[in-house]
Structure 1
Amino acid sequence: MKTSASAPAPQKAHRIALLFNANKVYDREIIAGVGQYLLSTRVSWNLFLEEDFRCRLGGIERFDGDGIIADFDDPAVSEALADCRLPVVAVGSSFEESSHYPDNVPYIATDNVKLVSLAYTHLIGAGLRHFALFSLPLSNEHRWARQRELAFSRLREADGRTHEQIDAEIYRGLSTSAPTWNQAIEQLTQWLDALPKPVGIIAVTDARARQLLQACLIAGIPVPEDVAIIGIDNDPLTRTLTRIPLSSVIQGTEEMGRTAAHMLHQMLHGARFPGRRILVPPVGINVLDSTKHQPLASPYVARARHFIRQYACQGIRTEQVADYVGVSRSSLEEHFRRELGCTVHQEILRQKLDQAKALLVKRDLSSADVAVRCGFKSVQYLHAVFRRELGCTPREYQARESAREAV
């Protein structure tokens, strides 16, 4: 008589605290990486995370758990865990000086040098010759921003820039707050006006890039013809809050989360990695309109395209573009033919079509919704434009792009 094999004993569930401010995209994606590790393995963890996603440290010393993964970019977190008896894996910024890393815990770091270098190389590839960096005010909480400043300074020094020139190229501005918002935009605009044009600017975060873009829109500075902007984080929320889509460096945050989880898993079974450091490079760049720089001889065309990028999907006409630029329609049409080989109307239509293509790729809107959002008179007109310009229907385009992504 055969006996059935005994079922494997259930694995012990470890209690793990994630100390992050998950209202920030950087922290959320690290947490997502931890989740991916759990899904791809047989690890059993019960995770503690504040319900409103903020990081509260009160009582953390009494946490009755088995391990902690924490954001050490927050000095309060690293201080609170200095004498922690539990296994801890730190996640945070890379540092130029090794003394800035904690000695007693393993540390998974985003590679700031490679983040800034990737953005800088991208701007060079866009044909730009002048560069600047929009940072954050000096503070202990912004040590990672200072590291990105240092990386930018090293790149500029390699290009032969003096310290005085580099100082003029780095701007920290004011902290974001309601009372100082107007003052912050005014001072930022003054810095922008003083920079040589065209200029490529790296913002240390997407939030900072959005503020930079708003200052350009308010001041009427053409983006990306006069100012090309690239952020860091690839934050989807930021992209929904800007009229001109922002290019951004994609950090390796999910890989950081997976690596941190794997390391803590080993530590829960006796491994120790005191002082070990792992630098995680960026994934790449999401290239959007804010860095698609095209040198133009005519300031009228640059100003017109800046206006079209913002309002093409709102049904603007050639006359409105000419009024904004301050020249006659016939004169503007002549500048467009000479510079771009197309009419103003064709440029408006191209912008609308590009936006429609981007929305279709997301696959969460119907063709009718896309037509409305992109300023087409009807879904039938959207279909007609797609057939004429791309030789397919919107749905065929969507299916083609989906198949391409799957390869």
Structure 2
Amino acid sequence: MLMPKSHRIALLFNANKIFDREVLAGIAAYLSSTRKSWDLFLEEDFRLRLPGIEKWQGDGIIADFDDPAVAAALERSSIPVVAVGGSYEDESNYPAGVPYVATDNFKLVKLAYEHLIDAGLRQFALFSLPEARENRWAQERENAFRRLMERDRIEGEIYRGQGTSAPSWDEALQQQIAWLNSLPKPVGIIAVTDARARQLMQACLIAGIEVPEQVALIGIDNDPLARMLTRIPLSSVIQGAQEMGRAAAHLLDQAMHGVRLADTRILVPPAGINVLASSKHEPAKHPHVMRARHFIRQFACQGIKTEQVADYVGISRSSLESHFRQELGCSVHDEILRLRLEAATSILERGECNLNDVALSCGFTSSQYMHSVFKRELGLTPRAYQDRAIQARRALGEDSPLRKNDNDDDQPIASQHSDALGG
């Protein structure tokens, strides 16, 4: 039996970036579902091997074109190239003669903005990156934010800050704190990446700015690492990066079989939002309640008790309990327990894990106590909750987001050129 021809494909992505890893996962999913025979060539960070790439004797290349150096290096490639990157308001910014799969920058920002509006916010800001050719995608997200502000006649703030490096960490942090203090409150802030959102979260915590009561924060990327490195769980827009990878692989497959695809353009909308504590803005009537909840969000899983919360706020336990009952209809302990339960369900939804470890990491005194809380509050055991969550994920597909964009259907995006500014 003749074996199918194997194609030599170079994947020029930076595997240190969550966006690039998700695109690579989409390429892998396409190969798995179609049983294509591709020999893949990739580096952890392809930029270390970029010189001479135009002379590589392969069959095709899929590359991240957000880096201008990549576009320049592949300009004279003699083999099929498919580009992946961000969308552009100005059509001339797209590479000529190259099929291009883009994340829709306008819709990413629009979805984050609409989420903050739904949370009841009316003042907004964007935390971006310094202007640079390699940050063109961030500037496009700025453009999207400006257009939305102009459309709704809102005075939105944009802050770029510094590019971070060890010598400038403290200076950058103090500048972020000064910017945060200058903003009217409450304010909803969109960060152009989860990494920038995490920096701003840290600045809020150091400055004693309550999240999300004073600053409701949402990033873009849905990066698990960024979530693990923040005390308050970070909300984030989920890019359709895996769908981008599948679309790019399909285009390259077509190009290698002679289909003419020059200037074909596919815009992939966001997959949804992972809504967590950082953007769940609930206006508090009493400052003591707001301050207490800010403390609880940070330390609920570290075994804190009501007395410690009252000490942080600076009032007696009985006074704090009275304020909680009046405003939230629950006790301080109830609020602590609610956040521990929320943290535990989040871990269990990810897949198999040790229940003792879950209980310990979420601040429960024992797995038995966690078991009783689950039964009382949710009506089922932690293991039953985990099994149900796993079954639901399998029914929807392993890569299904926690919350889908209401405007998306369930079909892959496979249209030709469409408006870079979306809806």
1:297 aligns with 285
User: What's the CA shift string for 1:316-341, capped at 9, x where partnerless?
Assistant: 11111111112222221111111101
Is the partner of 2:125 in helix, strand or coil? strand
Partner Cα separation in structure 1 for residue 9 and residue 375 of structure 2: 54
Given the alignment, which residue of 326, 330, 335 partners 2:318?
330
How many residue pairs get aligned? The number is: 395
1:307 aligns with 295
2:123 aligns with 130
- Return the index of the structure with the highest Cα Rg: 1
Q: Does the 8 Å CA contact 2:221/2:238 hold for their aligned counterparts?
A: yes
Q: Does the 8 Å CA contact 1:129/1:199 hold for their aligned counterparts?
A: yes
Cα distance 1:38–1:324, how it changes in 2: closer, same or farther (>3 A)? same
Q: Which amino acid aligns with 1:275?
A: D
Shift of 1:403: 3.2
Partner Cα separation in structure 2 for residue 54 and residue 239 of structure 1: 27
Is the partner of 1:248 in helix, strand or coil? strand
1:75 aligns with 68
Partner Cα separation in structure 1 for residue 259 and residue 316 of structure 2: 74
Given the alignment, which residue of 14, 18, 34 partners 1:21?
14
Partner Cα separation in structure 2 for residue 151 and residue 336 of structure 1: 40
Given the alignment, which residue of 217, 240, 255 partners 1:252?
240
TM (norm. structure 2) is: 0.91
Partner Cα separation in structure 2 for residue 178 and residue 56 of structure 1: 26
2:202 aligns with 214
In the alignment, does 2:216 pair up with 1:228? yes
Q: Which amino acid aligns with 2:191?
A: A
Cα distance 1:93–1:382, how it changes in 2: closer, same or farther (>3 A)? same
1:106 aligns with 99
1:58 aligns with 51
1:237 aligns with 225
Q: Does the 8 Å CA contact 1:301/1:335 hold for their aligned counterparts?
A: yes
Is the partner of 1:83 in helix, strand or coil? coil
Partner Cα separation in structure 1 for residue 286 and residue 212 of structure 2: 14
Partner Cα separation in structure 1 for residue 314 and residue 112 of structure 2: 35
Cα distance 1:151–1:385, how it changes in 2: closer, same or farther (>3 A)? same
Given the alignment, which residue of 136, 145, 153 partners 1:160?
153
Is the partner of 1:362 in helix, strand or coil? coil
Matches within 5 A, 1:242-391: 242-391=230-379
After alignment, is 195-204 or 52-61 more displaced? 52-61
Partner Cα separation in structure 2 for residue 284 and residue 56 of structure 1: 35
1:3 aligns with none
CA RMSD of aligned residues (A): 1.3
2:417 aligns with none
Q: Which amino acid aligns with 2:198?
A: R
Given the alignment, which residue of 151, 154, 171 partners 2:159?
171
Cα distance 1:55–1:370, how it changes in 2: closer, same or farther (>3 A)? same
Shift of 1:402: 2.8
Given the alignment, which residue of 204, 219, 223 partners 2:192?
204
User: What's the CA shift string for 1:62-113, capped at 9, x where partnerless?
Assistant: 2111111111100100011111111111111100000001111111111001
Partner Cα separation in structure 1 for residue 380 and residue 391 of structure 2: 15
Is the partner of 1:295 in helix, strand or coil? coil
2:383 aligns with 395
User: What's the CA shift string for 1:143-164, capped at 9, x where partnerless?
Assistant: 0000000000000001113xxx
In the alignment, does 2:4 pair up with 1:11? yes
Q: Which amino acid aligns with 1:234?
A: N
Q: Which amino acid aligns with 1:307?
A: F
In the alignment, does 2:112 pair up with 1:119? yes
After alignment, is 174-183 or 377-386 more displaced? 377-386
TM (norm. structure 1) is: 0.94
Matches within 5 A, 1:82-97: 82-97=75-90
Shift of 1:184: 0.8
Shift of 1:239: 1.0
Q: Does the 8 Å CA contact 1:19/1:55 hold for their aligned counterparts?
A: no
Cα distance 1:395–1:93, how it changes in 2: closer, same or farther (>3 A)? same
Partner Cα separation in structure 2 for residue 52 and residue 97 of structure 1: 29
Shift of 1:119: 0.5
Is the partner of 2:349 in helix, strand or coil? helix
User: What's the CA shift string for 1:318-368, capped at 9, x where partnerless?
Assistant: 111111112222221111111101111111111111111111222332211
Partner Cα separation in structure 2 for residue 236 and residue 192 of structure 1: 25
Cα distance 1:54–1:322, how it changes in 2: closer, same or farther (>3 A)? farther
Shift of 1:240: 1.0
Q: Percent identity?
A: 67
After alignment, is 382-391 or 95-104 more displaced? 382-391
User: What's the CA shift string for 1:251-308, capped at 9, x where partnerless?
Assistant: 1111111111111111111112112211111111111111111111111111111100
**Unpaired stretches in structure 1, ≥5 consecutive residues:** 1-6
Is the partner of 1:396 in helix, strand or coil? helix
In the alignment, does 2:170 pair up with 1:182? yes
Shift of 1:53: 6.1
Q: Which amino acid aligns with 1:316?
A: I
Shift of 1:61: 2.4
